[in-house]
Structure 1
Amino acid sequence: MTFEAGITAFMLVKTTPKWLTLTVPQRLQAFETEILPVIEEKAEDVRSRFYDTEFYSTRVTDVWVWEARDHEAWQLLVEALRESPFWDTYFEVVDLLVGVENGYARNYGVDPLATIEV
């Protein structure tokens, strides 16, 4: 079964001093034991990718790209993250940009305008 994203969210975050005081192995352990289990327990039908941006930005250190099957899956994910140390303990959520890929094409019944075929 293929995954079809209903919405895509760009979660712009900034690491907190608490996160930065952890060693890399401690960060990986915290993520695997404190954040992932909460997500896996409460949120289904989502997938994610991480992008490091701290080399280019001082306001946002990472961009977490989420794809969710629908708005309910996205809502459950955000609630799960808010109930974990991810939200405001290890990361400050700077902004959320949520959109529908090629929504205009669906709305107007036209082919998507893109530089690559998806």
Structure 2
Amino acid sequence: MSNTPLPFDPALTIFMLVKTSPEWLGFSVDRRFELLGAEFTPILKKHADNVVLRFFDVEFYSTRVTDIWMWDARDHHSYQLLVEDLRETAFWDRYFDIVEILTGVENAYAKNYDRPVITA
């Protein structure tokens, strides 16, 4: 888990459940990182002031999805702009199948009732 503070207080968190495609797995590891650097990283940098990504590998424990991309977004519009850019790349439903998108608001139950957050 990252201890780096976010540059903003996220309005929403999005969990993208994705599955690597056979095409992606057919690339060498070096080629995968080249593609990430050439196509994916510039999008992350473009939206870095408003959207932050964390990667989770889950292929060790799941067959339905291989990775979870967790996005913290400053607001809905910033997230939507990020997705528009991603959809213009092969990372969206070619190299990775977007299996499901789950969007939530952290601790909304407490915020909505003006109550303290429950923690362990």
Both structures adopt the same fold (TM-score exceeding 0.5)? yes
2:55 aligns to what?
50
CA distance in structure 2 between the partners assigned to 1:41 and 1:66 by the alignment? 14
CA distance in structure 2 between the partners assigned to 1:103 and 1:97 by the alignment? 15
1:100 aligns to what?
105
Moved beyond 4 Å, runs of 4+: none
3-state SS of paired residue (1:86): coil
Which amino acid in 1 is paired with 2:13? Answer: T
CA distance in structure 1 between the partners assigned to 2:43 and 2:53 by the alignment? 15
The reply on whether 1:15 has 2:20 as its aligned counterpart is yes
Structure 2: gaps of 5 or more residues = 1-5
CA contact (8 A) 1:35 1:85 kept: no
**TM-score, L = length of structure 2:** 0.88
Structure 1: gaps of 5 or more residues = none
* Corresponding pairs, count: 115
**TM-score, L = length of structure 1:** 0.90
Equivalent residue for 2:31, pick from 26, 29, 44: 26
CA distance in structure 2 between the partners assigned to 1:2 and 1:38 by the alignment? 17
The reply on whether 1:5 has 2:15 as its aligned counterpart is no
Report % sequence identity: 50
CA distance in structure 2 between the partners assigned to 1:13 and 1:83 by the alignment? 17
3-state SS of paired residue (1:58): coil
